[in-house]
Amino acid sequence: MEKDLVEYIAKSLVDDPSGVSINVIEEDSSTILELRVAQDDIGKVIGKHGRIAKAVRTILSASSNKSGKRVVLEILD
């Protein structure tokens, strides 16, 4: 569910939605989401001073509270 949420948000923000990919790494007590976007769109996903990335992480945190697992978002370039 978290993967779909991040994918939807990222595709809404970028100019090239086909360049969005998410790799999910499951661990015992946490899930790592590795987000990749086109090189030109990295700034749009991170935002000024990281505000958009922080907002997405906040939404993920609220979403993952139900499952009890910690979800980590990594934005890769």
Provide the domain count of the chain.
1
CA angle 6, 8, 27 (to 5 degrees): 25
Name residues whose C-beta falls within 8 Å of residue 14's C-beta, 6 or more positions apart in sequence: 20, 37, 38, 41, 44, 45
Instruction: For 37-47, write each residue's pLDDT tens digit.
Output: 999 999 999 99
pTM for this entry: 0.88
Band (64; pLDDT cuts 50, 70, 90): confident
pLDDT given for residue 65 in this prediction: 82
Residue-number span of the structural domain to which 72 is assigned: 14-76
pLDDT given for residue 69 in this prediction: 83
Alpha-carbon 71 to chain mean position: 10
Give a yes or no: residue 42 inside a domain: yes
Give a yes or no: residue 1 inside a domain: no
Q: Domain holding 19: CATH number? A: 3.30.300.20
Give a yes or no: residue 62 inside a domain: yes
pLDDT given for residue 29 in this prediction: 85
